[in-house]
Structure 1
Amino acid sequence: MTGDIKQPRQRRLSSWTTRRWLRVGIAASLVALTLLGATGAWVLGRTQAISNNLTDVRSPSLSTAFRLETALVNQETGIRGYGLTGIPEFLAPYRQGLADQKAHTRSLGDLLHGDPARTNDLEEVREAVGRWQEGIAEPVAAEPPGAPPAQAAERLANGKAAFDQVRHALENQQERLRADRVRARADLQSTMILRNWVFGTIALVIVVLAALVFEGLRRGINRPLEQLGADARTIAAGDFSHPITPTGPADLRRLSGEIESMRRRLLRELAFTEEARQRLDAQAADLQRSNAELEQFAYVASHDLQEPLRKVSSFTQLLQRRYGGQLDERADQYIGFAVDGANRMQTLISDLLNFSRVGRVHNAHQSIDLDTVLEETLSALSVAVEETGAKITHDPLPTLVADPSQMVMLWQNLIGNAVKFRRPDGTPRIHITAAEEAGLWRFTVTDNGIGIPPEYAEKIFVIFQRLHTKETYSGSGIGLAMCKKIVEFHGGTISIDPDYREGARVTFTLAPEPPQLPTPSATPEDARAEAEQAR
């Protein structure tokens, strides 16, 4: 019969899920810890209350009682000296003692509030002091200075007995306060011992619970999970046909079944993923080929057109010099239009060529001092700076790892724009700042020019975008787009400060070292173009 009873019980226990085991274990642990915690909280509260009473009431009360005794002794000493000598200086300790007495009595009253026995002791002291002061101290202090009268000497003789009563009342008060403090210390010590036992029991229970939890987790969860992990590692190693063996509690067996279903699905997804990877590789190859074609187009559009355009410009200028003034005014105007258009197209193509070379040809990173680069830029812009009277100031600039030629182009475009887009009635004032921020260097170029409307803050960084006609301000519309490309190539960002209204403020960041990117190789045509520009 006993075996028959045990078997259903074992079957019921074996059918428990991990969640049920955890609920039962946690509930039992919480009950035990709650009881111990409540006991510990009570003990802590009791300890704190006794400690506060000892430190905030008993000890201060006793020390204040001693100070009250000192104040009364000072009064008695002053009155005795004045009564014997009649010298007014002896009244100073008496008056100071009166002030101290009031303060200490009030302090003792506050400390002993709620303790009737000690309050009665304080009242006895007050009554004894009042009798002594009324019968002895005040009449003696009221006597005029000079030779002491016989009445004063008589009062002093009687005053000793009255002050002995004061001393007796003080001694009784201090003795009871001292006994209270001793009892409080004893209570605190016994409560602390109880506290240590309670918290020791709590610690022991926690250790026992931890051991039980550890053993339960090891048997009910760790072993099945280890088996499941071994099967998963076998599958991860490439044996996708290895089956998952369900073990452990019911919920873990269900988990094993779900992982087995996932394994089967992975087998189906693997074939699809391989097909998708092949398509992605094909798209990457198409993208690489498209980029190469775009680079070739940029070269053709910016370099191969330079030679025929140079011929058009040269012969048009030759035509202007040779036949200028010999034809009618309209013909001279047409020739001027042709010369101007050819020159602007040549400048545009040159800028486009430089734009396409950023990151391809100009990619010689090295440590450079931006102060030196800025000096070179200002030297290149010296004519425009002198003509406009521009005032250019800057903070100390850092040393970065960057491409020198790109940094020169960056500063030349930003400062050149600040000088070009100036107010007609003012002197250009340009200031450059640099500050380290979150691992990057943030730069600002601030001017007092015509400014940039906030709605165009993004448009101006798009290639060939202009906010003014070529008759108002010259340029190809590539400068800020090139600045954006240079800054991004060096791991930073560039933008316009929309809150600045006194002109324009361009802010950009540069990394101390540019990100590691694959270095594009320059084409032979780029090398020839570099050589031609050098000539």
Structure 2
Amino acid sequence: MSSDVRHPRGRGPSAWTTRRWLRLGVALSLTVLAVLGTLGAWVLGRTTTLSEELVDVRSPALTTAIHLESAVLNQETGIRGYGLTGSKDFVTPYKRGLTEQKTYAANLTELLNGDRARLDDLTAVQDALEQWQERFARPIAAEPPGAPSPLATERAAEGKESFDQVREAMAGQQERLRQDRVRARDDLMATMKVRNWVFGAIGILIVILTAIIFEGLRRGITRPLEQLGADARTIAGGDFDHPITPTGPADLRRLSSEIDFMRRRLVRELAFTEEARLLLDAQTGDLQRSNAELEQFAYVASHDLQEPLRKVSSFTQLLQRRYGGQLDERADQYIEFAVDGANRMQVLINDLLDFSRVGRLHNAQQGVDLDKKLEETLSALSVGIEEAGATITHDPLPTLIADSTQMGMLWQNLIGNAVKFRRPEEAPKVHVTADREGELWRFSVTDNGIGIAPEYAEKVFVIFQRLHTKDAYSGSGIGLAMCKKIVEFHGGTIAVDPHHQDGARITFTLAPEPPEPPGPSTLPEATRAEAELPS
């Protein structure tokens, strides 16, 4: 990482990353919620305990004490009536009261289990009741029925006093049970209020924590990311000088700094690329002008040389016909050299003219049947093919949008070379293939001639480059260079197959439709002037 990127330093909160802030927020939230949850659980438990005590203990205890009082009153009423009248009907309420007394006393003992004070109250009631029963109730109940009991009259005052003590003990017991119930109810109501406050506080704190977390995420993550996204969109829109301001936690600031570093580096690269593009445009313009001047020179030079060359060729041939054999042998040899040189010079100039026309003068692109065009080429080369005893075969060839004349020149040069560079002891055999390869067509021209060494695979496509002397193989050295120019003009490539043995194989590709050539309006002035020259 370059030193241009600034990373947050230090150990304070400003150096904390998003993960650390989130961990702190989650820890604090969980701590607060745990405390509130514990308090809420305690309040709920306390409310449940008080409610159970009130419902299951205090209220039933008071009710049972009242029932116990009713059972005791039944006993007193029955004994008092039996003592005054001697009627057996009064004994029944007494006996039922005794049974109910035992039941209610047992229930109270069970309900008040563990409450020492209230058990003491029950004991006091039972002691007072036992004293009244022993001194008054049982003796009277044991008297025979049918007549009033003298004992009832005799102990009336004592019985009343003893039963008043029972009443007083039961009244005290019931009052304290009633107070216990009221106190338990008040505690329950107070605890319920506390519970409501606690859960209300929990709800409010949850809302506050949610708001704090939301605001923290918005300020610490969402807003810095939105700002970073807005800056990135501004830069993507073309404003590469727009700076990115680091905001938010340490890791987001570090990310912003790294993106800003990339932006500055991109600005430098774009500036360098723009400078390179301007330099390349200038060099391209110079190269186009240079190429235009060279093509114009080649065209004009070859075009203007044809007329004096024709004169030289015509008069040397006329000199050879008229004075051949009249001069000495050396003179005849000189005249023959002049005629041969003039003829070769004329061939070279014509080839150079054809080479300069490729890509300079654009004929109308049209559908070209390469099968038919190859047959026309073979017809034009029929004399040379027949003299060499060559056999030319080919696969079915496609129809492409191309320059018909240039396609003829392409086949003429490739087939002509395959026939010309043959082995002396073997008749030439040439085969042409065509295969679809993606969006292109790949062609090959294979022969059984002398072949091309791998080290010369590139050199043979350079203009005027020859691998053999003029005496061994005739030619101007322009043929394969012209093929390369034609193929590239039609959007393809051409090369020598280095893996082929026993001869040479030239492979090239052509597009179904060649790229649109530049019109005269887009050519440099020198090139437009060449295009207007007569061919």
Normalization by structure 2: what TM-score? 0.55
Mapped pair 1:471 → 2:471: yes
Shift of 1:365: 1.8
1:488 is matched with 488
Q: In the alignment, residue 335 of structure 1 is paired with which amino acid? A: I
Shift of 1:348: 0.8
Aligned 1:286-305 pairs, distance under 5 A: 286-305=286-305
Question: Could you give the per-residue CA deviations for residues 407-464 of structure 1, whole angstroms, max 9, x where no partner exists?
Answer: 1011111111111122222222211111112322111111222222233222211111
- 2:296–2:530 contact (8 Å) kept in structure 1: no
Q: In the alignment, residue 351 of structure 2 is paired with which amino acid? A: D
Question: SS of the residue aligned with 1:387?
Answer: helix
Aligned 1:25-40 pairs, distance under 5 A: none
Partner Cα separation in structure 1 for residue 397 and residue 252 of structure 2: 63
Distance 1:475 1:272, change over 3 A: closer
Partner Cα separation in structure 1 for residue 497 and residue 241 of structure 2: 61
Shift of 1:261: 6.9
Partner Cα separation in structure 1 for residue 390 and residue 515 of structure 2: 35
Partner Cα separation in structure 2 for residue 350 and residue 363 of structure 1: 19
* Percentage of identical aligned residues: 80
- 1:360–1:519 contact (8 Å) kept in structure 2: no
Bigger RCO (CA 8 Å, 6+ sep): 2
Distance 1:323 1:362, change over 3 A: farther
- 1:362–1:405 contact (8 Å) kept in structure 2: no
Shift of 1:394: 1.0
1:348 is matched with 348
1:508 is matched with 508
Distance 1:496 1:258, change over 3 A: closer
2:455 is matched with 455
1:180 is matched with none
Q: In the alignment, residue 328 of structure 1 is paired with which amino acid? A: D
- 1:442–1:508 contact (8 Å) kept in structure 2: yes
Aligned 1:298-337 pairs, distance under 5 A: 298-337=298-337
Shift of 1:297: 2.0
Question: SS of the residue aligned with 1:466?
Answer: coil
Question: SS of the residue aligned with 1:443?
Answer: strand
Partner Cα separation in structure 2 for residue 502 and residue 24 of structure 1: 80
Shift of 1:274: 6.9
Question: SS of the residue aligned with 2:443?
Answer: strand
Distance 1:297 1:216, change over 3 A: farther
Question: SS of the residue aligned with 1:435?
Answer: strand
Distance 1:354 1:20, change over 3 A: farther
Shift of 1:500: 2.3
2:442 is matched with 442
Question: SS of the residue aligned with 1:474?
Answer: coil
Mapped pair 1:379 → 2:376: no
Distance 1:440 1:264, change over 3 A: closer
2:518 is matched with 518
Partner Cα separation in structure 2 for residue 370 and residue 215 of structure 1: 75
Q: In the alignment, residue 446 of structure 1 is paired with which amino acid? A: T
Question: SS of the residue aligned with 1:465?
Answer: coil
Distance 1:296 1:249, change over 3 A: same
- 1:418–1:447 contact (8 Å) kept in structure 2: yes
Distance 1:269 1:449, change over 3 A: closer
Question: SS of the residue aligned with 2:509?
Answer: strand
Distance 1:279 1:499, change over 3 A: closer
Q: Unaligned regions of 5+ residues in structure 2, if any?
A: 1-10, 26-213
Compare CA radii of gyration and give the structure with the larger one.
2
Distance 1:217 1:490, change over 3 A: farther
Q: In the alignment, residue 435 of structure 2 is paired with which amino acid? A: A
- The number of residues matched between the two structures is 333
- 2:360–2:531 contact (8 Å) kept in structure 1: no
Distance 1:240 1:437, change over 3 A: closer
Distance 1:321 1:527, change over 3 A: farther
Partner Cα separation in structure 1 for residue 241 and residue 500 of structure 2: 66
Deviates more, 1:388-397 or 1:454-463: 454-463
1:497 is matched with 497
Distance 1:264 1:412, change over 3 A: closer
Partner Cα separation in structure 2 for residue 396 and residue 377 of structure 1: 16
2:72 is matched with none
Partner Cα separation in structure 2 for residue 473 and residue 218 of structure 1: 84
Provide the alpha-carbon RMSD of the alignment: 3.6
Mapped pair 1:252 → 2:230: no
Shift of 1:372: 0.9
Partner Cα separation in structure 2 for residue 247 and residue 280 of structure 1: 41
1:400 is matched with 400
Partner Cα separation in structure 2 for residue 369 and residue 23 of structure 1: 76
- 2:429–2:447 contact (8 Å) kept in structure 1: yes
Shift of 1:373: 0.7
2:411 is matched with 411
Question: SS of the residue aligned with 1:305?
Answer: helix
Question: Could you give the per-residue CA deviations for residues 7-51 of structure 1, whole angstroms, max 9, x where no partner exists?
Answer: xxxx977742146579999xxxxxxxxxxxxxxxxxxxxxxxxxx
Shift of 1:406: 0.9
Question: SS of the residue aligned with 1:442?
Answer: strand
Partner Cα separation in structure 1 for residue 384 and residue 395 of structure 2: 22
Shift of 1:527: 5.4
Distance 1:323 1:20, change over 3 A: farther
- 2:221–2:248 contact (8 Å) kept in structure 1: yes
Distance 1:246 1:365, change over 3 A: same
1:68 is matched with none
Distance 1:457 1:275, change over 3 A: closer
1:338 is matched with 338
Q: In the alignment, residue 295 of structure 1 is paired with which amino acid? A: E
- 1:351–1:476 contact (8 Å) kept in structure 2: yes
Partner Cα separation in structure 2 for residue 507 and residue 300 of structure 1: 33
Question: Could you give the per-residue CA deviations for residues 327-359 of structure 1, whole angstroms, max 9, x where no partner exists?
Answer: 111011111111111111111111111111111
Q: In the alignment, residue 312 of structure 2 is paired with which amino acid? A: V
Mapped pair 1:229 → 2:229: yes
- 1:441–1:509 contact (8 Å) kept in structure 2: yes
Question: SS of the residue aligned with 1:431?
Answer: strand
Shift of 1:221: 4.1
Partner Cα separation in structure 2 for residue 335 and residue 217 of structure 1: 101
Aligned 1:97-116 pairs, distance under 5 A: none
- 1:18–1:251 contact (8 Å) kept in structure 2: yes
Distance 1:298 1:260, change over 3 A: same
Distance 1:302 1:220, change over 3 A: farther
Partner Cα separation in structure 1 for residue 495 and residue 457 of structure 2: 7
- 1:325–1:332 contact (8 Å) kept in structure 2: yes
Distance 1:414 1:258, change over 3 A: closer
